[in-house]
Structure 1
Amino acid sequence: MLRRKVLKILGVAALGTGMATATFADMPAPLDNAGDVKIALVRYLSTGDFFQSYLAGVESQAEALGVDLRVFDSRQDAALQADMVDQAIALGVDGIIIQHGLTESMKDAAQRAVDAGISVVAFDVDVENDAIPQVEQSDYLLGRLALDQALADNGNAFTAGYVYVPGIAPLDRRNVAWEEVREANPGITEAAVFGTLDNPIANSIANQARSVLQANPNITVVFAPYDEFAKGVKIAVDEAGLTDDVDIYSADVSTADISAMREPGSAWVATVATNPAVVGEVSVRALALLLTGEDPGSSIVVPPTLITQDFLNEQDISNMEELGARMPQFQHADVAMADWMPLPSR
């Protein structure tokens, strides 16, 4: 069981870990002294099942490694996220994972951490620093596989709505796939582009989608490449009685998403995802390699998987555990690994 306490500094959480099943003395320095190594996770986005699962993966891998994890949550406040990097530096952490954020606010903050001798890994944020490894889900492929399914289901001529917020690295990479598919298929009409990251994200998207669908009744496909976006669009589609007329294609997955996709007549027909808990584990493992002087590589990619509504129904999958059992590649990614590195128990 993880032991959590709340530090009295801007809502920072500290995670103290006990002994894992592996012998810490067998790991390379500095991880051979259990509890001596402190790392920080500095978050920009935290709302939604994906980010809860990602955090769970970070916590479980940190526990397996015996490191002291501090979690900083800026709740989409770019200036606060940069300030939290400085707080982590002041706390004397050995390593930092920067999770999402804006390039303009995180670039200098990440460099300050590197200048302080701290190992840094970035997940889904471009800090424009060759010294900082980038963990990603192959966001281009997340978008491309979803769009390939949309083409298979709807042909290469349809009217689409697109949910997009520029400036967020994973969404920008998924946008490359959207632009590529549109260029290759001139029969696709982009009727509306909308999007927001205002909390709660799904409800905010639903508010926008209501207006978009009312103004564009000819939309038959919505590309919503983030599951909170898809949830919001689905709310609007359901309310408008358009479940037979609109297909939603997304990225990311959770137990709640699976339930939504499997509702009778659900418009949410496909998503492409990695296991967010696995991505969290990979982020910590990449940082651990840096801390021990090993090179995890400049780009650490966790491969995604297409998940269709038909597959979920055929396999009678109702949660993430069952999805992992039917898709072994979803349970573990052999990425950022070393022989000495203990893995979380599942």
Structure 2
Amino acid sequence: MLFSPKTRFGFKAVASLALAAGLGLAGAAYADGIPGAPAPFDKGGVKIALVAYLSGGDYFQAAEAGATRQAKALGVDLRIFPGRQKPDEQREQIRQAIDLGVQGIIVSGGKAEAVDDVVQEALDKGIKVVAGNIYLTNPGVIIVDQDESKQLDLVLDQVLKDNGDNFSAGYIYVEGFPALDRRDKAWTAFKAKHPGIKQVAQWGTVDDTTAQSVANQTAAVLRAHPEITVILAPYDEFARGAKIAVNEAGLQDKVKIYSVDVSTSDIQEIREPSSPWVATAATSAEGGGEVQVRALALAITGQLQEKKVLLAPTLITRQFLEENDIQTEANLTQKLPAFLGRSVASAPWIPAPK
């Protein structure tokens, strides 16, 4: 799950509806209650909030869309507070959610030290809290996340398969984002295990124009280190920026890019003729949003047994996409139904999203 400040394939409309004041996004498929569901879902009127640190881009737009879809299936009033990369604003949004009288809050991304006290305020009021991509350690918080180490391990296995264990690598990384930090640990262990792989440069940034910023950085790195043949970009927006720079330098036949996360636009870029972006590993962003809402619903009813819910990743290569004629994330889900994780954090009374 990561950090994609990119906006494509129709999800901008979702974000535009998600005003800072927290407008209700989910419809009312079961607004009057779900027959046979445990309380309070049997009577309806359940309110929850999604408070994001980042909300721009394919990944987060898709996650919000998945959360909205699952909330609608449950008849839940979902309030989305869009992320603006401002810890103080995220704190205030959590307080606003508490004041709205929600029964549950999803905290997506951010800095734990900036919000853990207001999260505790929510817990103390009996509000259930689900956290994704943030190191919240408050007792009672439910963690829903990707299995990050397995995710990067899948990509690194493909790197070895494609390139052997003796090459010069460039690495795009920004410290302080939980998912990237966990992926960094996997990369560090991988380098220690394969000493013939030399990391000759590291760069990266996360901002409102991450892809273009990374593209500019990558161009400079490639000029300084022409020996680089592999770029590890463990976030798809990093990969998008690296691809721009590699293409502009005419190095498509020399440099291969490996990433984490996937979206429809990612699939299209990987499938471009002579694209240097050759593989990624991912869980479904939409599926992740759905799982967060289901986990919160189960927690509200007291039926959730786990305190940590992990989504299994999938390796996605250009070869697989081409062999199966996959053009979109929807196509990918059709070929790999388990990609959405519909069986994760579910129960017979929870309606499936449509």
TM-score range, shorter chain: over 0.9
Query: Match of 2:237?
Result: 228
Q: Distance in 2 between matches of 1:143 and 1:22?
A: 43
Query: Match of 1:305?
Result: 314
Q: Which moved more, 1:205-214 or 1:3-12?
A: 3-12
Query: Secondary structure of the equivalent of 1:39?
Result: strand
Equivalent of 1:115 in 115, 124, 129: 124
Query: Match of 1:262?
Result: 271
Q: Distance in 1 between matches of 2:14 and 2:241?
A: 32
Query: Match of 2:7?
Result: none
Deviations 1:69-110 (A, max 9, x none): 000112211221122111111111110000111122122222
Query: Secondary structure of the equivalent of 2:35?
Result: helix
Q: Distance in 1 between matches of 2:346 and 2:19?
A: 34
Cα pair distance change 1:160/1:247, threshold 3 Å: same
Unaligned runs of 5+ in 1: none
Query: Match of 2:37?
Result: 27
Q: Post-superposition shift, 1:23?
A: 6.1
Query: Match of 1:45?
Result: 54
Q: Post-superposition shift, 1:13?
A: 3.0
Query: Match of 1:203?
Result: 212
Query: Match of 2:142?
Result: 133
Quick check: 2:32–2:75 contact (8 Å CA) kept in 1? no
Q: Which one-letter code corresponds to 2:298 in the other structure?
A: L
Deviations 1:129-153 (A, max 9, x none): 2311111110111111111111111
Aligned Cα root-mean-square deviation (Å):
2.1
Quick check: 1:5–1:15 contact (8 Å CA) kept in 2? no
Query: Match of 1:271?
Result: 280
Deviations 1:2-26 (A, max 9, x none): x989899745332252224996132
Query: Secondary structure of the equivalent of 2:105?
Result: strand
Q: Which one-letter code corresponds to 2:232 in the other structure?
A: F
Query: Match of 1:13?
Result: 23
Q: Distance in 2 between matches of 1:338 and 1:230?
A: 37
Query: Match of 2:252?
Result: 243
Q: Which moved more, 1:302-311 or 1:193-202?
A: 193-202
Q: Post-superposition shift, 1:111?
A: 1.4
Quick check: 1:96–1:120 contact (8 Å CA) kept in 2? yes
Quick check: 1:96–1:121 contact (8 Å CA) kept in 2? yes
Unaligned runs of 5+ in 2: 1-12
Cα pair distance change 1:115/1:51, threshold 3 Å: same
Q: Distance in 1 between matches of 2:15 and 2:169?
A: 47
Query: Secondary structure of the equivalent of 1:143?
Result: helix
Cα pair distance change 1:42/1:181, threshold 3 Å: same
Q: Which one-letter code corresponds to 1:339 in the other structure?
A: P
Query: Match of 2:182?
Result: 173
Q: Distance in 2 between matches of 1:264 and 1:184?
A: 33
Q: Distance in 2 between matches of 1:22 and 1:340?
A: 15
Query: Match of 1:342?
Result: 351
Quick check: 1:4–1:16 contact (8 Å CA) kept in 2? no
Q: Distance in 1 between matches of 2:234 and 2:260?
A: 5
Deviations 1:143-194 (A, max 9, x none): 1111111111111111111111111111111111101101101111111111
Deviations 1:27-79 (A, max 9, x none): 11111122x11100000111221111111110010001111000011221122
Q: Which one-letter code corresponds to 1:189 in the other structure?
A: K
Quick check: 2:288–2:340 contact (8 Å CA) kept in 1? no
- Corresponding pairs, count: 342
Cα pair distance change 1:135/1:267, threshold 3 Å: same
Q: Which one-letter code corresponds to 2:82 in the other structure?
A: D
